[in-house]
């Protein structure tokens, strides 16, 4: 399900709190966009993506935590890649990578939180850690 609502009278902190509550209660994703509303007022479009069984909960949070008077919703189909999360070893320590696969191709994506932890603990740039983790994921992927 995709839920959307527009608000023009909320603080950034209140929107951030609402986003946090939605994600903690089953939303798959929440994002916001700056918009111009009627009478040229600046506003925010809040978009929530959730499974159908979480729609009522997400609507309740939007009504309780925002100033909205209405929510639009629609069923939207989605394709997802088969994926697995595996742990890889690097010279900086272990980190997880997400390997996604479909129709003869795959991608390797280092997990941000793990890379950030290693970058902080070794005082090394995040990009260097991400590259090392990615390379380890590529090597793991290529094993028979």
Average pLDDT over residues 21-47: 96
pTM: 0.75
Tens of pLDDT along 64-85?
999 999 999 999 998 888 899 9
Express each pLDDT in 21-32 by its tens digit.
999 999 999 999
The confidence score (pLDDT) of residue 142 equals: 65
Enumerate residues 6+ apart whose C-beta is below 8 A from 21: 61, 65
Burial of 97 (0-12, 13-18, 19+ CB in 10 A): buried
Asked if 88 and 137 count as a contact pair (C-beta separation under 8 A), the reply is yes
Higher pLDDT, 107 or 95: 95
Buried b (16+ CB within 10 A) or exposed e, 42-52: ebbebebbbee
**pLDDT of 12 over the 60 cut:** yes
DSSP 8-state code for residue 38:
G
Beta pairing, strands 105-110 & 42-49: unpaired
| The length of the chain, given as a count of residues | 144
Q: What is the mean pLDDT of the chain?
A: 94
Beta bridge partner(s), residue 115: none
Tell me the domains of the chain and their CATH numbers: 2-74 (3.30.70.1380), 82-141 (no CATH)
Q: What is the Cα gyration radius of the chain?
A: 20
- Measured between alpha carbons, how far is 141 from 144 in angstroms, rounded to an integer? 8
The DSSP element (H or E) to which 114 belongs, if any, is: helix 112-122
């Amino acid at each position: 399900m995709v839920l959307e609502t527009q608000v023009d009278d909320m603080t950034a902190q209140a929107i951030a709190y609402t986003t946090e509550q939605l994600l903690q209660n089953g939303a798959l994703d929440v994002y916001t966009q700056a918009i111009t509303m009627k009478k040229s007022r600046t506003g925010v479009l809040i978009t929530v993506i959730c499974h159908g069984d979480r729609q009522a909960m997400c609507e309740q949070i939007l009504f309780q935590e925002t100033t909205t008077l209405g929510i639009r919703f629609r069923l939207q189909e989605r394709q997802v890649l088969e994926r697995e999360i595996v742990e890889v070893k690097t010279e900086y320590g272990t980190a997880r990578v997400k390997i996604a696969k479909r129709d003869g191709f795959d991608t390797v994506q280092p997990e941000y939180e793990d890379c950030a932890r290693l970058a902080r603990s070794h005082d090394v740039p995040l990009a260097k850690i991400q590259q090392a983790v990615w390379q380890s994921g590529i090597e793991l992927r290529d094993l028979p």
